[in-house]
A = this chain, B = another copy of it.
Amino acid sequence: MITIKDIAKKASVSEGTVDRVIHNRGGVSKKTEQKIKRILKENNFKLNPIASALALKKKYNIATLIPKFNKRNIFWESPYIGIMKALTEVENYGIQIQNYSFDQFEASSYLNEFDKLFSTHPDVVILVPMFRNETKHVAKKLDQRDIPYMFLNIDLEGLNNISFIGQDSFKGGCVAGKLMCLSLNDGDECVTVQTRSNISNYHAIYKRIEGFNNFLDSESNKIRNHNLKWDNLNALSAVKAKLESCLLQNKNIRGIYVPSSRASVIASCLSDELHKKVNIIGFDTTDQNIKFMEDDKIQFLISQKSFNQGYEAVRTMSDFLIQKKTPPKKIFSPIQIIIKENLAFSNRNKISFQIENANPKKNTSES
């Protein structure tokens, strides 16, 4: 391994001069600069990041802004754990993380938490842009202060985020469509279940529906698709009533498509008899969804590896800060197809980290 000292010797200058060239610190005559650059290149010199990290006392602050999670809606726990996992790997490089969490149904909470975050002057920000208009405001403030930011899980177009990590929701919908076609026979029908109030993640859900319909339309023997909408999924009895009547009226429906992470809610509303008849296709391996899958009440889950999203977001931003590596504009998560048989192997990273760190800091709310 070639070091700065070696380069200095070869160029017969001091280590300090080589260092100045490497970091474009200036104050080096053109002649010696050229010479050193040539020697650096010839020897394929690479900085030792270990030594750099040690010498560089500089601390970098990453701030995150993601939704709170609780027992009823636990989806956001997963990226959070991914964030903490990544932190253990990069903290010795001087990376520090401040987490802020907001109520995903309250735009004001989003803004409040952002203001707290903003006042701590972070170096970069990782955020879930849950609300479109509010995010415009947030992005503007970050832009003004030249703080780079990336989007996690939800993509919004037209802003200056340096990156986005998450799933291609349209393609996710296509995959769901294909799985639906596969599991239905000729003449069978299906129904897409929507919650109108699901402003959160609205964009992704819209795209998932679009992808699903797109796939269905592209098939030669078209499957008829119905639509069911609720204002919200909290009034379980109302959900149940409407769902059952729909299934009774349309005897050919043998598939339910839930383009959100709440497939478990729908599954919990079906009688055993109906479960035997219909397949449910949903998204995300939340604990609740997993339970219903183990009981054969949900057939397919499309997972976006949200744990990895959190993990990769932090790693990406750390590389950006430490090594000045510009991240790709979009980083697409895999579209994983989960069935009962491969369920056990889908979450290993997350689970093993949880076991190692039995007492993670709390990010929950009881709301």
Chain A residues close to B by CB (< 8 Å): 48-51, 53-54, 92-93, 167-168, 171, 174-175, 178, 182-183, 185, 215, 328, 331-337, 339-342, 344-346, 348, 352
Contacts and interface: CB of A to CB of B under 8 A. Distances in A.
A175 B92 contact: no
Contacts of A335: 341-342, 345
Given A175-B339, A175-B342, A336-B342, 8 more contacts: A48-B54, A50-B50, A178-B340, A215-B341, A332-B344, A335-B345, A337-B337, A337-B342
B93 A50 contact: yes
20 contacts: A48-B54, A48-B92, A49-B92, A50-B50, A50-B53, A50-B92, A50-B93, A167-B345, A171-B342, A175-B341, A178-B339, A185-B185, A332-B344, A332-B345, A334-B346, A335-B342, A336-B337, A336-B342, A337-B339, A337-B342
A185 B182 CA distance: 10
Contacts of A340: 178
A322 to B, nearest CB: 12
A51 B55 CA distance: 10
A348 B336 contact: no
Q: Report the 9 A-B pairs with minimum CB-CB distance, sorted nearest first.
A: A335-B342, A337-B337, A175-B341, A50-B92, A174-B341, A334-B345, A50-B53, A182-B182, A175-B342
Contacts of A185: 185
B341 A178 contact: yes
Nearest to A186: B185
A51 B54 contact: yes
Contacts of A215: 341
A345 B168 contact: yes
Contact of A341 (B50, B171, B336, B346): B171
Given A339-B178, A339-B337, A345 B171 contact: yes
Nearest to A346: B334
A267 to B, nearest CB: 19
Contacts of A344: 171, 332
Contacts of A337: 336-337, 339, 342
A281 B339 CA distance: 16
A185 B331 CA distance: 38
A285 to B, nearest CB: 12
A332 B347 CA distance: 11
A223 B325 CA distance: 53
Contacts of A352: 328
A336 B53 CA distance: 37
A337 B49 CA distance: 37
A107 to B, nearest CB: 31
A168 B342 CA distance: 10
Nearest to A177: B341
Nearest to A333: B345
Contacts of A175: 339, 341-342
A284 to B, nearest CB: 15
Contacts of A342: 171, 175, 334-337
A57 B317 CA distance: 30
Nearest to A299: B182
Contacts of A92: 48-50
A346 B185 CA distance: 28
B336 A336 contact: yes
Contact of A334 (B178, B183, B332, B348): B348
